[in-house]
Amino acid sequence: MKLLIVESPAKAKTISKYLDGAYTVRASVGHIRDLPKSNKNAIDIEGGFIPRYEISKDKYKVVADLKSLAKKAEEVVLATDPDREGEAIAWHIKEALGLKKPKRIVFHEITPEAVQEAIKHPRQIDDDLRQAQEARRVLDRLFGYDLSGLIWTKLRYGLSAGRVQSPALRILVEREKEIEAFIPEQFWVITAEMKTASGTSIPFTCSLEPKTEAEANTITKKAKQEAWKIKDISETEAKRNPRAPFTTSTLQQTASSRLGYSPSVTMRLAQKLYEKGFITYMRTDSTNLSQQAQAEIKSIVSREFGAEHFSANIYSKKSKNAQEAHEAIRPTHVTTKSAGFSDQEKRLYKLIWERTVASQMAPANILRTKVTAVCADKSVPDFLANGSQVLYSGWLLADPRARGEDVDLPKLKANEKLELISINSEGKTTLPPPRYSEAGLVKELEKRGIGRPSTYAPTIKTIIDRGYVEKEARSLKPTDIGVLVSDFITEHFADYVSDTFTAEMEDELDEIASGKRSYTKTMQDFYGPFTKAIKSKKNIEKISNLGEAPQDIKCPLCDKPMIIKLGKGGKFYSCNNFPACNGARTMEGKVQAGPKDTGRICPKCGKANLVEREGRFGKFISCSSYPKCKHIEQDPNAEKPGDTGVGCPLCKKGTMVEKRGRFGLFYGCSNYPDCKHIVKSKPTGAICGYARETGPCPHLMMAGTKTIPERCSDKTCPNHNLQKLDKNDN
């Protein structure tokens, strides 16, 4: 038996059909190992920045099944994706399964021909590519955890920073500040509808932009009183060249502008099209097309539009690190005009098909016409009319949505007399620079060399999910929290979120991938100065006061002045006498409901009253002088959602109830905070009873999942670890 391992079940299903039973095809379902969530001992820095990987909890069964199959196989082939991420996944599979010399194959399209050809040319795992991915993972962990930890102490718990995420946020915040600082200027637009005095032409529109209203009124008045004629007509032919085939970046941009898909949606759909064998690999920065693809395109252009429209175009790479061995994103078979199972998939495939075919066609020929109309009164400036029309469609035949609309002007002659039909003046103001759309941010990140094709979509998703940015229509607007985090990082760590640093780091990762740079040296060069920068900021004051409120904003409880603070929902006004006074207002000035006084004195400090508060896990009671006094207790009247009815084995008083924290769902004692017993999975009510030297295990059993069997809630109990493969797997 021969075993071939890929990442996704969909990919495995497609490839299985091409191998006629010669291989058993299985999927790892993405990464099987990663750094532990906790940063403690995740990376051996002193030992040379060695990551300590562990098998992901939801992959125990997957790894067990693969290990069982690998032991029986006479040959193991790793066919993960043809990029650094895929190379890393292949290496992790090799390590987790204990494979000695697995074969590694790559292909950029899932077709019978490509898969069969790849199997004929196996190679070893490329350790340079693997180390480049490892370097990115370790760098991101070191950067994110160390800087995020500082932000937690100086701004607010739960905030985060990232090596690529933070520069992306900075770009959005810089644009937002440009918009806020923008001072609009007024201008006027005069439009005049005219026709030839002989009446032989259709009406057309000329325009002019004067600087002042008085000038606009004077021009309008004189224009109505004087005669008009054609001063000049200029016609120029221009070629409009086809666009290059799609790269990851340009696909995300065009899918956003034409189809309204976010980058993450585009990549998810493209992944499905790739796995089903409809398109080539969707993470690429190359614009190359194979000779076979060009031959197919030539055939279909000849059949659909005419052989004279074909042109074998070659496009220069925009990225200095573009991997030219790869291909652009294209249909695996251009002869297939429609593909995909869902409507979204079909629309994206059509977009890819149109761009691919159009890229190998002749330029369009455009006629641009400029007409200058002049008034008999020489003090009136010239009016202009611009038109354009397609003389030869060329590549626009394959991509008609790129054409736009023709602006037709009538056939006119120089010195021909004109008749003014109407003239109007309208006051307008200049507009601030627009906010970035998702497509615009992708373009800007690529232009500045920040990140790589595979990072754009997750970066944007991260800053939205973190609440640093919100979408307004199709624009990205930084939130108050986003601005504050970006300003803090930019002020104290400007070098580490600059375009130069981020782009140079990407170049260094590329050099690791090509074998030109050492992994360890790259880590050392970064981490030494970075940790010094972090330590140098340990003593800066915590930012809790963002400035004074306007003088007319007074505390609704004590009428004292207020200050601006940052809460979970953004900025708000707080009484400057807090915590003695809990008065608060929204930024619009509305009174915010404060904690409800229970009338009871705090049993811990004996001074302040206890108040009802609302937290992440529902209502609770605490001291009103928090944070000076941190006494809290369970609200006896609060509803207990998700009560399992299973008694707490630790305190024997409460019951285990469903709760939700930063890391997702868990189960904790209802007698919290007196009892802090928690378990990750839902308790079944059954007692473990596993026979140990100390006697039967008295802990609860936790419900199992598809990948993890039912087990003991006590991590020290052998019954908790039955799902582990062996002592070396984790």
Residue 19 shares a structural domain with residue 98: yes
pLDDT of residue 321 exceeding 60: no
Return the bridge partners of 417, or none.
229
Task: Look at residue 676 and tell me whether its pLDDT is greater than 60.
Answer: yes
Query: Residue 454, Cβ neighbours under 10 Å: how many?
Result: 19
Structural tokens at position 564:
């601006």
Pairing of strands 562-567, 364-375: unpaired
Query: Does residue 418 share a domain with residue 374?
Result: yes
Q: The tokens of 569 are what? A: 């929902």
d(C-alpha 523, C-alpha 542), whole Å: 30
Q: Is 693 or 306 the better-scoring residue by pLDDT?
A: 306
SS3 of 615-634: the string is: ECCEEEEEECCCCCCCCEEE
Q: Give the other-Cβ count within 10 Å of 530's Cβ.
A: 18
Highest mean pLDDT among 19-28, 450-459, 565-574: 19-28
Q: Give the Cβ contact number of residue 142 at 10 Å.
A: 21
Structure tokens at 9: 């079940």
Q: What pLDDT was estimated at residue 133? A: 95
Under the banding of pLDDT at 50, 70 and 90, the label for residue 243 is very high
Secondary structure element (H or E) that encloses residue 644, with its range: strand 643-647
21 token code pair: 């039973």
Cα separation, 289 vs 313, whole angstroms: 10
Q: Is 179 helix (H, G, I), strand (E, B) or coil?
A: helix
Which pLDDT band, with edges at 50, 70 and 90, does 662 fall under?
low
Establish if 542 belongs to a structural domain.
no
In this structure, is the dihedral angle defined by the CA atoms of residues 205, 206, 212 and 218, taken in order, positive or negative?
Answer: negative
* Res. 640: pLDDT tops 60: no
Q: Domain check: are 9 and 118 in the same one?
A: yes
**Alpha carbons 489 and 216: distance in angstroms, whole number:** 48
User: What is the tally of structural domains in the chain?
Assistant: 6
Q: Which of 383, 403, 428 is the last residue of a domain?
A: 428
The continuous run of DSSP H or E covering 701 comes out as strand 700-702
Rounded distance between C-alpha atoms, residue 261 and residue 438, angstroms: 9
- Domain hosting residue 349, numbered range: 248-358
The answer on 701 and 669 residing in a single domain is: yes
HSE of 680, CA atoms in CB hemisphere, 13 A? 12
**Is the separation of the CB atoms in 459 and 448 below 8 Å?**
no
Tell me: do 118 and 165 sit in the same domain.
no
Cα 142 to Cα 42: distance, rounded to the nearest angstrom: 10
Residue where a domain stops, chosen among 403, 428, 453: 428
Please name the residue that has the structure tokens 């049993």.
603
Q: Which residues contact 723 (CB under 8 A, 6 or more apart)?
A: 60, 61, 708, 709, 711
With respect to residue 675, please indicate whether it lies within any of the assigned structural domains.
Answer: yes
Give me the active site residues, please: 281
Specify the 3-state DSSP secondary structure of 156. coil
Residues 354 and 271 in one domain: yes
Q: List the CATH number of the domain containing 371.
A: 2.70.20.10
- Using CA atoms, how far residue 307 sits from 288, 315, 355, 522, 557, in Å, is 22, 21, 18, 53, 81
Count CB-CB contacts under 10 A for residue 627: 8
540-587 tens-digit pLDDT = 888 877 888 898 899 988 889 999 887 777 788 998 888 778 788 888
CA pair distance 59, 45, nearest whole angstrom: 27
d(CA 244, CA 560): 64
Q: How far apart are CA 187 and CA 431, in angstroms?
A: 11
Q: Residue 444: which region, alpha, beta or left (left: phi > 0; alpha: psi -120 to 50)?
A: alpha
- Least confident residue range of 6-15, 91-100, 181-190, 719-728: 719-728
Q: Are residues 369 and 354 in the same domain?
A: no
- Residue 543, domain member (yes or no): no
Indicate which CATH number applies to the domain containing 276: 1.10.290.10
Read off the pTM.
Answer: 0.77
Cβ(682)–Cβ(700) below 8 Å: no
Asked whether residue 66 falls in the same domain as residue 110, the answer is yes
Q: Are 239 and 362 in contact (CB under 8 A)?
A: no
pLDDT given at position 504 = 92
CATH number at residue 152: 1.10.460.10
Task: Indicate the range of 24-28, 131-135, 345-349, 570-574 predicted with least confidence.
Answer: 570-574
* CA atoms of 688 and 56, how far apart (whole Å): 24
Q: Is the pLDDT of residue 724 over 70?
A: no
pLDDT level of residue 722 (50, 70, 90 thresholds): low
**Residues 43, 115: one domain?**
yes
Which of 383, 419, 427 is CA-nearest to residue 216? 427
CB 584, CB 567: distance < 8 Å = no
Q: Looking at the domain assignment, is residue 155 inside a domain?
A: yes
Tokens of 455: 């990072």
**Model pLDDT for residues 510-549, shown as the tens digit of each residue:** 999 999 999 999 999 999 999 999 999 988 888 877 888 8
- In a domain, residue 613? The reply is yes
| DSSP letter (8 states) at residue 330 | -
* Domain presence at residue 89: yes
Asked if residue 482 has pLDDT above 70, the reply is yes
Whether residue 545 lies inside any domain: the answer is no
Same domain for 294 and 255, yes or no, is yes
Residue 13 and residue 121 in one domain: yes
pLDDT at 728 exceeding the cut of 70: no
Q: Say if residue 110 is in the same domain as residue 9.
A: yes
Specify which residues 584 forms β-bridges with.
574
pLDDT at res. 594: 65
Domain boundary among 634, 669, 695: 634
Contact call for residues 194 and 228 (beta carbons, < 8 A): yes
User: Is the per-residue pLDDT at 487 higher than 90?
Assistant: yes
pLDDT of 593 strictly over 70: no
469-472 and 204-208 strand pairing = unpaired
Can you tell me the distance from the alpha carbon of 498 to that of 500, in angstroms, rounded to the nearest whole number?
Answer: 5
Please name every residue paired with 563 in a beta bridge, in sequence order, or none if there are none. Answer: 548, 574
CATH code (residue 102): 3.40.50.140
HEC profile for 440-457?
Answer: HHHHHHHHHCCCCCCCHH
Cα separation, 436 vs 4, whole angstroms: 43
For all residues of the chain together, what is the average pLDDT? 88
